[in-house]
Amino acid sequence: MQTTLPQKYYTDPAVFADELERFYCRSWVCAGRAAQIPEPGDYFLREIGKESIIIARGADREIRAFFNVCRHRGTRICANAEGRFPGRIQCGYHGWTYALDGKLAGAPHMNQQWFRMEDFPLHTIRAEIWEGHIFINLDAGASTLKEQLGNLWDKFKAWGQQELCMAARRSYTVQANWKLLVVNYNECLHCPIIHPLLNRITHYLSGANDPPSEAYVGGSMNLKNGAETMSVNGKRPRGCLPGLVGQALDHVLYYTVYPNLFLSLHPDYVMTHTLWPRAVNQTEVICEWHFHPNEMQCPEFDASDAVEFWDTTNHEDWRVCELAQLGIQSRAYQPGPYSPLEGLPKAFDQMILGVESKEEKNSKPRIGLSGTSAED
């Protein structure tokens, strides 16, 4: 019998700090979308623990990531969450200036003979693109993103995610440990109770799950007869994504790409959630809705049917996750048994424990995102 995790995994700051290091600092995490920074100089920031990271598009149109730390006296360079650099990145303290590729371009008063500009670029963070999603990795020695994703790499080609554009974004602050959000996302036994709107459109026991992987868990849910997409009334007021045919038109896919991307693929749009742990009992969530640009150019385009549907569902989920956090914090909490239908939450927990056990055996711990899979 497998049970839920012990209390410390949701309440102990030391466990939280260790997970942040292992999962968010030593593996590939989804930072956002390439379409968010379409032009040279466009940038946005992401925070992982105490680290602030600049993600910017260079003059050569390549996307790069840098630690938001000046090489002069360590000052944080950029304070605005997003924007556009005017052809350069400049520290507001002493004016050290960097090109969009991170190379030092100007250092006032540093005219000593020993000083070489090429020795002081911004510290670079690895950045790779998958299906239009930007992934970053603070571990310079980690494997490639493709190696981490494994057979997920080509799985969703038909949705053409790299072509999609964001129509809406919502940010949420959830007073719950990040793992509770992952567990909640990967089961729908709560849907008839918590999600009356969602439950009218898909049956909570429909679809099938993939075998759990080292990099992800997920599966499908079928649309009920007459439903065309996940929206307020179940109707689809726009065309399907052009690459989809057959079964892809009558079901929805839900995948968690470890550690922080919820990927929801619908017949006519893609929704993403990225999780950003802020404390042992607090998680920031960024939710975005992405549609095909041809649909967004139509005068009658309106994404509110999907946004309203999922904003309602999100709030229902966040509320029950917060209640779970409060209950687990109680002295009365004891790990409870999983049912046979909770295979994906079981697999996620085993991944957490598997990575922890694996790293305890290594003198130089490295993220592996591995663990024993549970039967669904």
Nearby residues of 141 by Cβ (< 8 Å), 6 or more positions away: 366
pTM above 0.85, yes or no: yes
Spatial distance between the Cα atoms of 372 and 367, rounded to a whole number of angstroms: 15
Count the Cβ atoms, other than its own, within 10 Å of residue 182. 24
What proportion of the chain, given as a percentage, has pLDDT over 70? 94
Spatial distance between the Cα atoms of 320 and 184, rounded to a whole number of angstroms: 9
Spatial distance between the Cα atoms of 267 and 242, rounded to a whole number of angstroms: 9
Ranges of CATH 3.90.380.10 domains, the chain: 152-360
Nearby residues of 203 by Cβ (< 8 Å), 6 or more positions away: 221, 222, 224
Phi, psi (5° rounding) for residue 141? -100, 5
Spatial distance between the Cα atoms of 200 and 39, rounded to a whole number of angstroms: 42
Task: Pinpoint the alpha helices (H) of the chain.
Answer: 8-11, 13-19, 145-149, 178-185, 191-194, 196-199, 293-296, 304-328, 343-361
Please report the pLDDT score of residue 374 as a whole number: 32
Across 58-69, average pLDDT: 98
Across 77-106, average pLDDT: 97
Say whether the peptide bond before residue 365 is cis (omega within 30 degrees of 0).
no
Strands across the sheet containing 97-98: 89-90, 97-98, 104-106
Q: Which fold has domain 152-360?
A: Naphthalene 1,2-dioxygenase Alpha Subunit; Chain A, domain 1 (3.90.380)
Please report the pLDDT score of residue 375 as a whole number: 33
Looking at the predicted structure, is the pLDDT value of residue 222 above 70?
A: yes
Place of tokens 């385009």: 301
Across 231-250, average pLDDT: 93
- Using DSSP's 3-state secondary structure scheme, residue 20 falls into helix
* Mean pLDDT of all residues belonging to the chain: 93
pLDDT tens digit sequence for 128-179:
999 999 999 999 999 999 999 999 999 999 999 999 999 999 999 999 999 9
Ranges of CATH 2.102.10.10 domains, the chain: 33-141
Q: Which fold has domain 33-141?
A: Rieske Iron-sulfur Protein (2.102.10)
Please report the pLDDT score of residue 356 as a whole number: 60
Under the banding of pLDDT at 50, 70 and 90, the label for residue 360 is low
Looking at the predicted structure, is the pLDDT value of residue 363 above 50?
A: no
